[in-house]
Amino acid sequence: MGTIVMNKNDDIIMRLVHYFITECDYSPVVVNGIKDEIWLENNEGPYKIIRINSNHIHNNEQLRIDMYKTFNIMKQIKKQTFSLSMNVLNIFLDVGESVTLKETKNMDNIKLKTLKDLENSSIEKSFPSIKDKMLVNLEGIDLIINVTKDINQKTEKRNKSYERTFKPKKIVVTNILIGICIVMFFLTLLHGKGAITNHALYYFGANFAPAIRENVLNIYRFVTATFLHGSILHLLCNMYALFILGTQVETFLGKKKFTIIYLISAITGSLLSFVFTNSLSVGASGAIFGLMGSLLYFGYHYRLYIGSAIKNQIVPLIILNLFLGFTFSNIDNAAHIGGLVGGYLATMLVGVNEKSTKNEKINACIVLAILWGFLFYVGMYLR
């Protein structure tokens, strides 16, 4: 087609960005206050961050300033993406002859003047498909059209996936769980002739370690206990939390995954309570903490979109509730902690759409099985 002639750096940038986004699933990172730089992120990639810099670096002093700025931006991205460490590929397209690129901790600095410089570089070693997948046979307007089309298709596909995940859905399972808890509360009241008694709670399946140790068939109490509540205030607080958190998790992950996460969280919370508590234990709070753990795992994978909500809402909520659990008596904090861990592992097990890997799911299954076995053994034979 046309005979548009592009700047050399712009040509290289288009080809690199096209490859990293369409072939390696990197996503652009919005960094305020920068110019002539592109930042890409993929937590599962060979490099978590790729920076492409077309600014002219004419001496080592300017390079030092540029590196200082880069490390500060990395700190911001670490906070935004909840990363303790990240390896970075720093690609310089316009570097003076007197500039010396040195090795830096967790950062590979590459000088790339032409595409031929890719040969035997760390880029080619980390991305071996770059030879075959990069657009090298297109020029001018043909290159622009193909790059734009492919990136738009990739973006459209990603946006549809995000829309499926975040769009409001009809909430079913959360409402059923709330309904069961309310029905069980009134049944317990009837059994106790207008009062919530320990006998009534035990009758309907409260978690009670001595009963389970006496007869292992009583393990059904690990589940039934999470549908019972000791007072109207206990019920109302838990149902409000279940409605808020359950609606979010069911929307993000779907009904089937939400049900699995809720039950695994409930059982894990009951198991840790079984180890540390010998009195009657009831309530949905262990499973509710599991929903918080689920949101932590989900939020990590969608940290570029809801990272601020996780940092400013979910994490403080978890810390506050754990603090209250340790501060006041008659709160089964073991169930809360167990549920939190169980919810995180359960979400890793069922997976987040287009985010989780098969290895993560297998690892979660193994860890969860070991954890359940260990807690059950300790609660049965070492208490």
CA distance 278 to 218: 14
Helix 232-253 / helix 255-276 crossing angle, nearest 10 deg: 140
Whole-number pLDDT of residue 1: 44
What confidence category does residue 239 fall into, taking pLDDT thresholds of 50, 70 and 90? very high
Report the share of the chain in percent with pLDDT over 70: 95
Q: Rounded to an integer, what distance in angstroms lies between the CA atom of residue 66 and that of residue 339?
A: 46
Encode pLDDT of 285-295 as tens digits.
999 999 999 99
Residue 164's CB is within 10 A of a number of other CB atoms, namely: 12
12 vs 125: CA distance, rounded Å: 18
pLDDT of residue 254: 94
Model pTM score: 0.78
Is the backbone of residue 99 left (phi > 0), alpha (psi -120 to 50) or beta? beta
Q: Catalytic residue numbers? A: 285, 336
Q: Does 81 score more than 70 pLDDT? A: no
Lowest pLDDT segment from 76-80, 314-318, 372-376: 76-80
Task: Give the confidence band of 223 by pLDDT, cuts at 50, 70, 90.
Answer: very high
Q: Which residues pair with 92 in a beta bridge?
A: 53, 111
Tell me what percent of the residues of the chain surpass a pLDDT of 90: 47
Secondary structure in 3-state letters for 76-100: HHHHHHCCCCCCEEEEECCECCCCC
- Least confident range from 60-69, 74-83, 237-246, 284-293: namely 74-83
Q: What is the pLDDT of residues 175-187, one digit of tens each?
A: 999 999 999 999 9
Q: How many residues does the chain have?
A: 383
Is residue 218's pLDDT more than 90? yes
Ranges 150-159, 193-202, 285-294: which has the least confidence = 150-159
- For residue 321, the model assigns a pLDDT of 78
Q: Mean pLDDT, to the nearest integer, of 34-51? A: 87
Strand partners, 28: 40
In DSSP terms, 294 is beta-bridged to none
Calculate the CA 89 to chain-centre distance: 23
β 49-53/88-92 pair status: parallel
- Average pLDDT rounded to a whole number, residues 363-372: 97
Q: Is the dihedral of CA 145, 148, 154, 155 positive or negative?
A: negative
**CB neighbours of residue 288 within 10 Å:** 29
Is the alpha carbon torsion for 150, 152, 158, 164 positive or negative? Answer: negative
Q: At what angle do helices 255-276 and 358-381 cross, to 10 degrees?
A: 30
Measured in whole angstroms, how far is the alpha carbon of residue 339 from the centre of its chain? 17
29 close to 66: Cβ distance less than 8 angstroms: no
Residue 177 pLDDT: 98
Mean pLDDT of 329-358: 90
